[in-house]
Structure 1
Amino acid sequence: MTHQVSRNDHQVVPQTPQMTKLLVSVTVRGSVGPIQVIVSPDDTVHDLIKDVLKVYVKEKRRPLLSEIHPSCFGLHYSPFSLQSLKLDEKVINLGSRKFFLCPEQADHARTIILDQSKQNERFSFPLAKFLDFLRSLYNFLMHRSTSH
């Protein structure tokens, strides 16, 4: 423990050290052994899931994951916990440094991803139609000029 001396009355006041990093252990369902990552105390559950998935893919762990989007996974206290932790919860407030990561019933996560892709598709669709129109017009004009 470090101590801080007050300048006014020369009293020794204990100063508690602040954590700058946390070592967290996460076991991915079906994988052999946990993944250990060092995170900031301000990191959220979402940040932790993202970091664990990066390490999982980088280390080429097995089994291969069909999805690697963080919203497709839930972080749990144990494999027997049905309730996943809130994504915006800070890791330092969770009271544990060992967790279990498993794919969620990904209906909600896939819906979010599909909605985003449909929204992008909606913006690109008029451009595709316009390009098809120009291609058709070009073919029509080329065919007409060779006929005459």
Structure 2
Amino acid sequence: MALYKQKKNHKGSGNRLLISITVLGSAGPIRFVVNEEEIVAAVIETTLKSYAREGRLPLLSSDLNNFVLYCPIAGTEALSPWETIGSFGVRNFMLCKKPQVGKASIDEEKQAIVRKGNSSWKAWFNKSLNLKISSH
């Protein structure tokens, strides 16, 4: 009787796929089986849970809204969270953090100021060393 119920549930669930998701910055992909009708947002959530359960580094947040999933055949466009994972016809994906426009631009400005300050200090130091060496 239980065997009959398993067949009935499996038949209605559609095809299952073994997918491989590479998390940017992590060593090796995460692999698991999903239903081909599963939406991208659910796949991202499952990936983040598996990543945390395995204790992988770097540490990631558990908020799926901070991440995007890319497909090699879709180019540089992130996949829509409402599309089905089986609609792309591939099994390899890449998970990346969403770019943060406001915070990143402030950090880049700070780094540019620090670099500019360091480069002028380094230039002055190198110039003063060259003067001392050439005067001998």
TM-score bin, normalised by smaller chain: 0.5 to 0.7
Equivalent residue, structure 1, for 2:42: 47
CA distance in 1, matches of 2:67, 2:33: 19
2:59 counterpart of 1:64: yes
Relative contact order higher in (CA < 8 Å, ≥ 6 apart): 2
> Does structure 2 retain, via aligned residues, the 8 Å contact 1:72–1:106?
no
**TM-score of the two chains, using structure 2 as the length reference:** 0.59
Q: Is the 8 A contact 2:20 2:30 kept in 1?
A: yes
**Aligned position for 1:32:** 27
**2:78 matched to 1:99?**
no
1: distance between equivalents of 2:44 and 2:78? 12
Q: How far, CA to CA, are the matches of 1:77 and 1:101 in structure 2?
A: 9
Query: Deviation string for 1:99-121 (max 9, x for gaps)?
Result: 000000246xxxxxxxxxxxxxx
1:62-114 deviation per Cα after TM superposition (whole angstroms, max 9, x unaligned): 1111x221111000024xx431001111011012100000000246xxxxxxx
Matched residue type, 1:62: L
Alpha carbons 2:14, 2:37 under 8 Å: kept: no
Distance 1:106 1:50, change over 3 A: farther
Using the alignment, how far apart are the partners of 2:86 and 2:29 within structure 1?
A: 19
2 CA distance for matches of 1:48 and 1:90? 9
TM-score for the superposition, normalised by structure 1: 0.55
SS in 2 for 1:37: strand
Counterparts in 2 of 1:1-148, with a 5 A limit?
19-65=14-60, 67-78=61-72, 81-106=75-100
Over the aligned positions, Cα root-mean-square deviation in angstroms equals 1.9
Matched residue type, 1:56 = Y
Q: Conserved in 1, the CA contact under 8 Å of 2:21 and 2:93?
A: yes
